[in-house]
Structure 1
Amino acid sequence: MRNVLREWQAELKYTFTGTRDAVPEWVGRLAEGDDAGYHRPGSAVWAVHGDMPTIVAGIRALLMQALHPGALAGVHDHSRFREDPLGRLAGTIRWIFTVTYGSTEAARAASNWVLRLHEPVRGTYVDGRGAVQPYAANDPDLLRWVHIAFTDAFLSAHKLWGRPIPGGPDAYVREWAQAGTLMGVESPPLSEAQMRAQLDRWYDDGELTADSRVAETVAFIRNPPLHPVLRPGYRVLFAAAVASLEPKYRAMLGLRMPRLGPFPLPVRLATKATLGIVHLALGRMGPSEQAARSRLRRLGYEEPSGA
C-alpha cells in the first residue's frame, strides 16, 4: 500500500505541477511579499481551493468552458492542449494558487502574465445562430464566461463533496470575484444567484453550441494521456464531474449519468472514497498554502481561531 501511495503521490504531483519530486519554483515565491494578499486563512476561497473537490471542479470547468464556441475556438486555434495538456493544466494551477495564496503584488503579476499570453489569441468562430463572429481571448464577454464557468464548477463540486464554506456559497462567489476583476471581468457576480443567472443567460440566448469540436474536446477530457496508475481514479472523477453538471448542460455535452444497466452507479460515494485516497497521497496541506502561511507568520498576521 505504501508503494502504491508513493507512486500515486509522484504522478499526482507531476500531473498538477510538472514535477514529481521538487516543489515548483513559483510555489516557494508565495512565501515572499509584503502583505497578506487578497485571501487569507478562514476565507471561503481558502476553504474551497484547499480542499480535494477542486480536482472534480477542474474537470467540470473544462467541460463547461467548451460549450462557448468563442472560448473553444481560442483553445483549438492557439493552445497546445493536445501536445502538452499537463503543461497547460500546470499553468492554470499556478495562476489559481498564486491568486489564492500569494501577496496582492504576486496575484496581480500572475493575472497580468495570463492576460499578456492571451493578447495574440484572436480569430473567428461560428456562433450558436450560425453567424461568423470575431473573438479575442481578452474580450470582456469571453473573460466573463471563463470566470463564471470556473466559479460555478468549483462551488458546485465543493457543495457536493467539500466541507462547510465559511460564510456560505455567496461568500465564495463574492471573494473570488476579485480574481475576475484582476482578469478584466467587469462587475463579476457577487452572489450564487447572480452567478447562476448570468451563466444561464448564455444558454437561454442560444450562445452555447455543441458541435464536432465540442465532441472532440469532451472525448479528450474523458480520456487524457495520464499515467496508467491514475486512470482508474480519473474515471471516477470524470464521472463525478458529469454527475455534478446541470442536466441541460450535460445533455448539450452528450454526456449521461453513469449507470450499470438500469441502475445508477454510486458516483458520490465512489468520488468521496477516491478523493480521500488523493488526500492521503498528497497530504493534509499543500505546499502553496504552507508557503502562504510562512509569509503570514513573517508579517505577524494572526490567524482566526480554528483556521
Structure 2
Amino acid sequence: MADLGLFGPGTVSWRVHAEPILFVGGLRSLFLQALHPRAMAGVAQNSHYKDDPWGRLMRTTIYVATAVYGTTEEAVEAGRRLRAIHARMRARDPFTGEEFRIDEPELLRWVHVTEIESFITTARRAGVPLTDAEVDTYYWEQRRVAALAGLDPSTVPASAAEVTDYYASMQPALKVTRDAAEALVFLTAPPMPVSWKLNPAARLGLELGGPRLAYLGVASTALGLLPTWARRLYGGLGLPIEGFTAGLSARAIRAALGALPRRYTEGPIYQGAMARAAALTTQT
C-alpha cells in the first residue's frame, strides 16, 4: 500500500499527468514523431495503427499511466514488456534500405523527448500553472520513464534548455516522408471507434458529424501547438498567430474537460495511486 511508484505526491509528474488535456499532448507528440524518417518507418512497418488506432492509443495511454502512477513493480514490468517488444522489431530505412533496430537509442530518445515535451508544453499552453523551474523538474523526473524504455538517463535532455538544443540538433534530419504524410492525414481524421457505431445514440451523433467535428478541432489544436519549425515542415506558415489560436483552443478544451464528472477523466491506475497515497497519509 505504501509503494507510490516512480514518483508520488508533490512531484511535478503527478500534477501534470492528472490533467486530461494531456491527450491533446499525446496527439501532438505523434505529429512530431512522424517527422523522423526512421521512427516513422519503424511504426509504418511494424504496427497496424490504421487498423486499430484507438486500441493502440489505449495501450499507449495505459503504459504512460502505469509508468507515472503505477507501483514500482508495475512500472518496471511495463518497461520490461515494452523493451521485449521493441527488441524483436526491425525496419528498413526509407532512403538507404538499411535494416535497423527499433530500439536504437536515437529512436527511443526521439520518441521519449517528443512525448514529454508535448505533454508539458500542452499542459502549460492550456493554462496549467507551471513555473520554469517546475518544467525543468518535470524533464528531470521523466528520465526515470526514459530508463524504463531502455535509455541511459544521462543521455536524455533534463531541462527545457536541453530540449531546445536537442531539437535544434535533430532538425536537419527531419522531413515529411510519404509515411509521415499518410500518418498526418490519418491522425487528423481517423475512423471513429467501432463500438460507437453499435450504440444508437453514438451512431446518430456520427451521422450528424458531431464527434468527427470535435475530433477535428482537437487535431487542429494539436497541430497548432507544434513548434514553429515543425509546422513549417508540414507545409504551414508557422506564424505566431497559429500558436496563439491553438493556445486559446487548448484552454477551452481543458475547461470543457474540467466540467465533466471526474469518473470520466480519472482512470483506474490514477485512482489506485491516489488510494495508496491517501493510505500512506493515514498511516503517518
What TM-score do you get using the length of structure 1 for normalisation?
0.78
Secondary structure in structure 2 of the residue aligned to 1:190:
coil
Over the aligned positions, Cα root-mean-square deviation in angstroms equals 2.5
- Aligned 8 A contact 1:60 1:245 in 2: yes
- Aligned 8 A contact 2:14 2:68 in 1: yes
Deviation, 1:180, is 0.4
Q: CA-to-partner distance for each residue in 1:276-296, whole Å, 9 max, x for gaps?
A: 223323528613322101122
Distance (Å, rounded) in 2 between the aligned partners of 1:137 and 1:282: 40
Q: CA-to-partner distance for each residue in 1:158-196, whole Å, 9 max, x for gaps?
A: 120132237521011011111001111122121111122
Question: What is the aligned counterpart of 2:266 among 275, 286, 293?
Answer: 286
Gaps of 5+ in 2: 197-205
Question: What is the aligned counterpart of 2:123 among 158, 177, 183?
Answer: 158
Secondary structure in structure 2 of the residue aligned to 1:281:
coil
Q: Which residue of 2 aligns with 1:104?
A: 72
Matched, 1:71 2:31: no
**Correspondence list, 1:243-254, <5 A:** 243-254=224-235
Q: CA-to-partner distance for each residue in 1:79-111, whole Å, 9 max, x for gaps?
A: 010100011101101110001101111111011
- Aligned AA (2:52): D
Deviation, 1:275, is 2.7
Matched, 1:273 2:252: yes
Secondary structure in structure 1 of the residue aligned to 2:93:
strand
Distance (Å, rounded) in 1 between the aligned partners of 2:3 and 2:96: 48
What TM-score do you get using the length of structure 2 for normalisation?
0.84
More displaced, 87-96 or 111-120?
Answer: 111-120
Q: Which residue of 2 aligns with 1:236?
A: 217
Question: Percent of pairs identical after alignment?
Answer: 28
Question: What is the aligned counterpart of 1:146 among 95, 98, 111?
Answer: 111
- Aligned AA (1:225): P
Q: Which residue of 2 aligns with 1:132?
A: 97
- Aligned 8 A contact 2:33 2:39 in 1: yes
Matched, 1:40 2:8: yes
> Which contiguous aligned blocks of 4+ residues in structure 1 show a shift greater than 6 angstroms?
262-265
- Aligned 8 A contact 1:214 1:253 in 2: no
Change (3 A) 1:125 1:40: same
Q: CA-to-partner distance for each residue in 1:174-221, whole Å, 9 max, x for gaps?
A: 111110011111221211111221122111xx3212122111110001
Q: Which residue of 1 aligns with 2:203?
A: none
Change (3 A) 1:302 1:156: farther
Gaps of 5+ in 1: 1-32
- Aligned AA (2:144): Q
